Amino acid sequence: MNSTHRALSPPRAPRRPHRNKETFQCLTDAALMRMCHRAGIKRVAAHIYNTLRYDIVRDHLLTPIMRDAVILATLAQRHTITLADMQLALRRHRHVIYGFGTR
C-alpha cells in the first residue's frame, strides 16, 4: 500500500471576476443636474439621467477636455483648475464658449 496521503483542504468557492463600477456610473444625478442647470435646462425627467450619463462617457466628451485642463493646471504648478484652464482647453478642442470675452 502506498502511503502518499495528502491532507484535503476544504473546497473553495469558485472565483468571480472582479467587476469595477461601469465608467458611466461615476457621474451622479446631482452632477448631471448641475451641468444641466449650467446649460440653462430647468427640469430633467428621471429616465434621461442614464441616457445622459451613457452619452457623455461613451462619446468621450469630457475626457480629453478635462485632461487638457489638468495638464494646464499642472504646468502652472497649481492643484486647482481655474476658469482660464477650462477656457484654454475648450478653445483647443474648438468648442465655442460664449460670455467670456478675451482682452
Average pLDDT score over residue span 78-86? 87
Residue 76: its pLDDT value, please? Answer: 92
Residue 82 has pLDDT above 80, yes or no: yes
Number of Cβ within 10 Å of residue 89's Cβ equals 21
Residue 98: its pLDDT value, please? Answer: 72
Report pLDDT digits (tens) over 33-47: 888 888 788 888 888
Instruction: Give the pLDDT band of residue 1 (cuts 50, 70, 90).
Output: low
For the chain, the domains span 23-60, 62-97
Report pLDDT digits (tens) over 6-28: 667 777 777 766 555 555 567 78
Distance between CA 51 and CA 27 in Å, rounded? 12
Cell matching residue 27: 457621474
